[in-house]
């Protein structure tokens, strides 16, 4: 799709690694606050797997 000033990429936020990372971290932190450390560990581990390269 194009616009007067360029192109528009129509994708869902879940398809962007950074958005998925942020969502998993948020859910992991919620799990910590709820005392569900097993779920928190799993979610934060998956978030870390998405991270590539230097920050």
Contact 44, 28 (CB under 8 A): yes
DSSP 30: H
Q: How high is the pLDDT of residue 15?
A: 84
DSSP classification of residue 12: -
In degrees rounded to 5, what are phi and psi of residue 4?
A: -60, -25
User: When comparing pLDDT for 28 and 5, which is higher?
Assistant: 28
Which residue in 55, 54, 18, 25 sits closest to 40, CA to CA? 25
- Specify the DSSP class assigned to residue 37: H
pTM, rounded to two decimals: 0.73
Over residues 13-41, the pLDDT tens digits come to: 888 888 999 999 999 999 999 999 999 99
Q: In this predicted structure, what is the pLDDT of residue 46?
A: 95
Residue bearing the bigger pLDDT, 45 or 9: 45
Asked if pLDDT for residue 4 goes beyond 70, the answer is yes
């Amino acid at each position: 799709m194009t616009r007067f000033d360029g192109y528009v990429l129509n994708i869902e936020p879940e398809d962007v690694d950074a958005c998925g990372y942020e969502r998993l971290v948020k859910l992991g932190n919620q799990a910590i606050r709820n005392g569900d450390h097993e779920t928190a560990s799993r979610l934060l581990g998956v978030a870390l797997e998405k991270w590539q390269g230097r920050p």
